[in-house]
Amino acid sequence: MWRLVLALLCLQLGEGLVRIPMRKGRSMREVMRDNGVPEGFLKGLKGDPGRKYLLSNAVAYEPLTNYLNSFYFGEISIGTPPQNFLVLFDTGSSNLWVPSTYCQTPACENHAMFNCSLSSTFSDIGVTYTLRYGFGDLSVVLGSDTVTIQNIVVKNQEFGLSLDEPSNPFYYLDFDGILGMAYPGVGISGYNTLIQNMMQQSQLTEPIFSFYYSRNPTYNYGGEVILGGVDPQLYTGEVLWTPVVQEFYWKIGIEEFSIGPSATGWCSQGCHGIVDTGTFLLTIPGQFMSAFLQQLGAEENDDGYVVDCSSVPSMPTLYFAISGAQLSLPPSVYVLNNDGVCSVGVESTYVSSTNGQPLWILGNVFLRQYYSIFDIANNRVGFALSA
């Protein structure tokens, strides 16, 4: 009887939710190496992932360094009749853009391209803007059209149609575009984000979305984006809620960081962390990177920050103190094993938070351990241990 009640309860909680399955693509490193791109070019792409969060009135910074390692993407449609695109669902940016037939570069032609002449609901806005990547600029022109995600239909949604995409590295990306899910303040001024329009057009059951990343991802199933609520079957235990400290990105407070039982004191004056589904690695403030690697016994080479695979079970667990609770990352989660080469899934940033606090980026490496809930109405993020 209790099993039946529980099943009915879970079914009821799941009603009205929109699930977008995410695939786990090959890393851009793998794709480029398979296409004979020299290792030296990959090294040239390495940059500071924190530049993504530097605000500018004219330019949105979204360095593709974040996508060198791995990424998860799902399908949306734009236009009438619908044209399908694979996009990265990115809580670290706010704009929606896809390749278009305006663009004649090989990078665009190697992907699905939006053809506005084939859509009866397309409207031209004509405003152009630039996404600057440090190793090449992506130019887009704004238009509006109907965006469909499963049974969610958003009308008159502004989005970017690419005008120019450099072949390196865009040609090698498995996904077509990016769907930003951060706050409107980091979007293009004067235009609604897709999340804003979903709420204004009553397309979300609740003003909440959530992410689940499988610990054993495949191309066909890497996890799910859930629009309009949460799925209790995808996590265990209680949800830890923590407030957003600045309504641009999904930025939260971090009170302490520990390596094993030892608190580092690195956040004694307060740290900030951006919960970013568009970043794969765990990003550490640059001033702490050397000490961090030393304590883990990692050495840097062409494969990253490498450790002996046989030592992984005895490596320390990492702990983030958030809202008075300790969120743990065991070495089985933060150490990546690629064909027998074990590397620590971290990178560094020298970008600080707004008031100078050390900035961490909690990317997919962190989010595979924790189901993440983004509560728009209450400006808070929830974490629960992934099922």
Q: For the segment 121-155, what is each residue's pLDDT rounded down to a tens digit?
A: 999 999 998 876 544 578 899 999 999 999 999 99
The amino acid present at 50, given as its one-letter code, is: G
Residue with tokens 């709420």: 199
Short-list 354, 214, 330, 217, CA closest to 274: 354
Select from 224, 209, 218, 331 the least CA-distant residue to 282. 331
Does residue 276 carry a catalytic annotation?
yes
> Which one from 48, 174, 176, 276 is the annotated catalytic residue?
276
Q: Determine the pLDDT at residue 83.
A: 98
pLDDT attached to residue 121: 98
Confidence (pLDDT) at 57: 40
Q: What is the pLDDT of residues 76-120, one digit of tens each?
A: 999 999 999 999 899 988 999 999 999 999 999 999 999 999 999
- pLDDT of 39 reads 54
Query: How far from 253 is each of 71, 81, 257, CA to CA, in Å?
Result: 25, 44, 11
In angstroms, rounded to a whole number, what is the distance separating the alpha carbons of residues 76 and 321? 36
Tell me the C-alpha distance between 43 and 34, whole Å: 16
Q: How high is the pLDDT of residue 56?
A: 45
- Whole-angstrom CA distances from 302 to 34, 43, 46, 56, 359 are 17, 9, 12, 33, 25
Cis-peptide into 316, omega within 30 deg:
no
Omega before residue 169 within 30° of 0, cis: yes
pTM for the whole thing?
0.88
For 365, the 3-state DSSP assignment is helix
- Residue-level pLDDT at 5: 33
Residue 329: closest CA among 369, 284, 273, 289: 369
Tokens 């050495």 sit at which residue?
299
Residue numbers in the chain where pLDDT is lower than 70: 1-15, 26-70, 132-136, 169
Q: Which of 265, 268, 316 is nearest to 294 (CA)?
A: 316
Marked catalytic residue, from 48, 90, 174, 176: 90
How far is Cα of residue 43 from the mean position of the Cα atoms in its chain? 22
Residue 70's pLDDT is: 59
Residue where the block lists tokens 């490596």: 315
pLDDT score, position 45: 52
